[in-house]
Chains A and B, each alone.
Chain A
Amino acid sequence: AQKVTQAQTEISVVEKEDVTLDCVYETRDTTYYLFWYKQPPSGELVFLIRRNSFDEQNEISGRYSWNFQKSTSSFNFTITASQVVDSAVYFCALRPPTMNRDDKIIFGKGTRLHILP
């Protein structure tokens, strides 16, 4: 069975601190996609990154970086020099690449991040 675990329910850090959001997944598929989404208070999910299971290169986008470790089934997300605008709920998700009728995207429960001024 597929599963995504975000063990951190809620995190609070002071502005300018670095923060890492953990994501651990379970799947029997050899190929799959991993995602991170941000949900600000407005409610709209914002796509942050998509990672193919064959690509284990870490990625950096400005203050955001992602560490994909296939050996530990983890896809962690780090925000460097956090800002108040980063306050949101962050979701990690897993999806198989096929379109079989039983395949679907699975979301973690989310991590609520508070950046304190």
Chain B
Amino acid sequence: KAGVTQTPRYLIKTRGQQVTLSCSPISGHRSVSWYQQTPGQGLQFLFEYFSETQRNKGNFPGRFSGRQFSNSRSEMNVSTLELGDSALYLCASSLAAVGISYEQYFGPGTRLTVT
């Protein structure tokens, strides 16, 4: 069974630009969550999608947005990039958003560098 895949793996953007990151969950998983990891702030939850609906959102500005498609694939978008957005962005999938099966499987991440 294929794991969670994230594309691209590495990305370099300039301040002010926008970026879209993609995440394909494990087949059959309907929940996708996004996280930002930086040396200073650590791992922070961005948002969670389940069946194309955003179920939960972390404390990030509106420049960070996401969506989930009918095939459970998810994208996150960051507009008007700032230097502080440089981070490892991790995507995780799970079978269900609530209940017993909340074991999350993480992808390898997308390393975003903003210059």
B48 surroundings in chain A (CB, below 8 A): 104
Partner of B56, one of A97, A103, A107: A103
- Interface segment out of the listed B12-20, B78-86, B101-109: B101-109
Query: Which single residue of chain B is at the shortest CB-CB distance from A95?
Result: B102
Count of chain A residues with a beta carbon within 8 Å of a chain B beta carbon:
24
B45 surroundings in chain A (CB, below 8 A): 104-107
A46 to B105: give the CA distance in the assembly, Å. Answer: 7
Count of chain B residues with a beta carbon within 8 Å of a chain A beta carbon:
24
Check if B42 is an interface residue, CB within 8 A of chain A. yes
Which residues 66-109 in A have Cβ within 8 Å of B in the complex?
91, 93, 95, 97-99, 101, 103-109
A47 to B90: give the CA distance in the assembly, Å. Answer: 14
B90 surroundings in chain A (CB, below 8 A): 43, 45
A residues with a Cβ closer than 8 A to B are 33, 37, 42-47, 50, 91, 93, 95, 97-99, 101, 103-110
